[in-house]
Structures are given as structure tokens and as C-alpha cells.
Structure 1
Amino acid sequence: MLTSTIALAEAVGGWLTNSLALLSDAGHMLTDVSAMALSLVALWFAGKPADVKKTYGYYRMEILSALLNGVLLMGITGFILYEAWERVRSPAQVDVGPMAIVASVGLLANLGALGFLHRSHSMNVRGAFLHVLGDTLSSVGVLVGAGIMAYTGWYVVDPIISVVISLVIVIGAVRLVRDAVDVLMEAVPAHVDLAQIKELMLRAEGVTAVHDLHVWTISSGVYALSAHLVVQDPMVCNNDAILSAVKHDLFDRFGIDHTTIQIESETYAHLGEVH
């Protein structure tokens, strides 16, 4: 709520003072607000049960929201960069006094949030701390720019600062869109090495081959795998022991807890008609 209020105040302040740097800083805070909102959306949807139509539940809503969020942020940044280019060519006067006041309020609020978050050692809180630290540095940049403009009258500093902040937003937005597209395309998760997974499966006693191996992401932190394990003789091998060993190793090493594994004989594997 605090970050949303500051972002709104900076957006209004940027509009009234004609400061593109303030608007960019508001956009940077918007990325943090969006990230927090997505976390809340993910928690809410994750609590909804699966049904006969949506057998995986509503986990992918988080990914769709992230994709939309990333595209919107890139659109906002594109507008800011265009305006910055126009102002570099023809610098516009900025009302430096109110601009500095709004940026100072944002800086003080961010410093207070940093002091509060710094007390915790939680990984999630650490992530929030880094987000707020980025907002704090952006506010400092805006204040430095206001000081330079107040003493020199170089109003071109305002669009230059907005470009720097916008580039930070673009990097985060591109990463967000890329990760969302990877999930929707069912790409192999970044932390997973298929060769290592295949090697892990082949170490199971009785397994002679692995094929049709697929690993994908359902949602953040939720991974799935399907594979066919070829065994020497299904009538002799302890299939339950093989499944138990492989599933536990997959979870312990890669965090994959949703697995569908088919065990088949060497004769069946060579038919190759149906997967």
C-alpha cells in the first residue's frame, strides 16, 4: 500500500512539475507494485481447487498476469523513452522545487521501508528489500537531477535520468516476459539439466533406457515431468522401488514433485507406435 501511494504521488507530481524523471521513478515503483500484486494473485488462485476442465487448477493465471504485466511495463517505458528523446532534442522547463519535494517524500518513505525490511533474514523479505533498494536509488537519482537543474538550468538532465531509470524497468520487463513465454511454451526450467535427469534415472537398478523425457513448469516453483523408463524385465524388476527411488531423487535434486513415469519392457519400447 505504501509503495502504491508513493508511486501514485510521484506520477501526479511528475505530471504537474513536467518532470519525466519523476514519471519514470513512478514507473519503476509500479514494477514493484506489480510484482507484489502478482504474488497475491498467485496465492489466491493457487487456493482454488482443480476441476474436470482445468485439471492443473489455476496456476497458469499467475503466468498470464506476469506476461500482461511485462507487456504493459514495456509499453509505458516505450512512451517514456520517446518523450525523453523529444526532450533531449528540445529540453522543457521543469518545476524543480515541487519535483524535489515529491522525490524527497518518496526517498524518506523508501528509507523507512528499508529499515523495516532489513531486520528480517527471510528470503522473500530479502527480495522485497532489494526492490525497495532499487526504488531508493531511483529517488536519489531524481533528487540529484533536481539539484543539478536548480543550480545550472540544464533541463536536459531530466530526460537523461528518465532514460536511465527506464532502462532498469526494461531489463526487468523483458526478463518477466521471457520467463512467462518460456512457461507457456513449456520450456525446460532454467535450473534443470535434462542430461543430468536422464543420468539420474539410468542409475536406478533395472533401468536400461529413458525416452520421451519432458520437463516443464506449471507455475512458479511448480514443476512437472513425464518419461518412459525401459527395464530389463518388468516381471522381475521391482517397479515400485524404481518409481520410489526416481521420484525421490527428482524432488531432492530438482524440486520436481509432479511426475508421470511409464515403465515398459525393452520389447514394448522398440514398437515405437504410441507414446
Structure 2
Amino acid sequence: MFLIAIIGVTINGLGYFRLKKGISQNEKILSWHLLEDILGWIVLLIGSVIIGFWNQPIIDPIMTIGFTIFVLWGVFKNAKETFNLLLEGVPEYIDIDEVKGSILSVEGVKSAHDIHIWSLEGETDILTAHIVVEDKYLTRPDKMRQSIKSKLEKHQIEHSTLELESEGFCSGTECIFELKK
């Protein structure tokens, strides 16, 4: 049991140190799983020494319960982040108000709406938005988009789809309410 625990710690340790700097959700979960394996093998190692030298079999269920609580804590931690990805939630490290403020700081931008930000795998952040622009800036839409995208890069948003709208243009649910007036 002692020798198997040493081999388990070594193999899982090598895998963990190779993946621990991962950015994507898959890499984070896999490195966490390897860390759990390492700690499980260390618990087994300590338990085998205590049981072998001091004949204390009660240590086995105590360590098992403690390790199970640790594993469950990791499951809930990773499940929260995974659900946020699956539900296309805004990543925790992005502040939508700051992003909107950056968009509005671009010369010629009047307003922004229908802003959606999510991450594909915890690494690549994506934004879609409708941007209302002064009419004179619509003559060069690519330049306007590039100005906005350079602001978005400061928020680590790597991919964006921007729909530029003129000041009088109406889209979405706001149009329905305006037409009824």
C-alpha cells in the first residue's frame, strides 16, 4: 500500500504541475482532479503508516470522511463555474458597466444596448452589442468598429460582433413600444 501511494503521488504530481497553469475550464477542472488524486494518495500514505505502525484502524474512516468533504467542496466549486459557462453567463472578472463605459467613450458613439458577454470555455470572451452612432460616423463603419474593438481588448474581450445603428434607427423591444405611441 505504501509503495502504490508513492507511485500515485509521483504520477499525478507530474500531471498536476503540467496542467496547473491552464486557463480553460477543462484544464482547471482536470488540474483540480489531479490535485484531489495527489491528496488522496497522500492520505492513503499517511493512513498506511499510522495503521501499520500504531495499529489504529479508526484512522481509515476518519480520513475517508475528511477527504470526501474536500472532494465535494471541489465539485461544488467547479460546478458553479461550469454552469456559468454552459448558461453563457458573464465571466466573473468582467464588469459590464465598465465595458459599456469603454464603448461609450469612443468618439461618435451615442449609446449601446443589447450587450451580451460570455465565454466559450473560460478562455475566449465574446461580446455582441448594438451601438447607436452619430450619422456622420456611419460613413466609415469599419473604422468605428475597430475603435470600439480596441477598447474591448482592454477588457480581454477577444471577439465581438457589433451592429452599428444610426441615431433614428429602432431595434428590439424598444421599437414595439415606440410604434404603439
TM-score of Structure 1 vs Structure 2, range by shorter chain? 0.7 to 0.9
The sequence identity of aligned pairs, in percent, is 26
Q: Does 1:263 align with 2:167?
A: no
Out of 134, 141, 146, the position equivalent to 1:232 is 134
Partner of 2:89: 187
Q: For residues 54-91 of structure 1, what are the alpha-carbon distances to aligned partners after superposition, in whole Å with 9 as ceiling and x for unaligned?
A: xxxxxxxxxxxxxxxxxxxxxxxxxxxxxxxxxxxxxx
Q: 1:161 is aligned with what amino acid?
A: M
Gaps of 5+ in 1: 1-98
Following superposition, the deviation at residue 172 of structure 1 comes to 2.4
Partner of 1:197: 99
Gaps of 5+ in 2: 23-27, 177-181
Q: Secondary structure at the match of 2:93?
A: coil
Following superposition, the deviation at residue 133 of structure 1 comes to 5.8
Out of 133, 145, 149, the position equivalent to 1:243 is 145
TM-score by length of structure 1 reads 0.52
TM-score by length of structure 2 reads 0.74
Is the Cα–Cα contact under 8 Å of residues 106 and 139 in structure 1 kept in the other structure? yes
Partner of 2:9: 107
Q: Secondary structure at the match of 1:205?
A: coil
Is the Cα–Cα contact under 8 Å of residues 231 and 237 in structure 1 kept in the other structure? no
Alignment of 1:1-275 (within 5 A): 99-110=1-12, 113=14, 123-124=21-22, 135-234=37-136, 238-250=140-152, 252-269=153-170, 272-273=174-175
Q: Secondary structure at the match of 1:159?
A: helix
Is the Cα–Cα contact under 8 Å of residues 137 and 144 in structure 2 kept in the other structure? no
Q: Secondary structure at the match of 2:144?
A: helix
Q: 1:265 is aligned with what amino acid?
A: S
Q: 1:132 to 1:183 in 2, by over 3 A?
A: closer
Q: For residues 84-106 of structure 1, what are the alpha-carbon distances to aligned partners after superposition, in whole Å with 9 as ceiling and x for unaligned?
A: xxxxxxxxxxxxxxx33432332
Greater strand share, 1 or 2? Answer: 2
Q: Matches of 2:71 and 2:127 in 1, distance apart?
A: 34
Q: 1:156 is aligned with what amino acid?
A: I
Is the Cα–Cα contact under 8 Å of residues 5 and 45 in structure 2 kept in the other structure? yes
Q: 1:191 is aligned with what amino acid?
A: Y
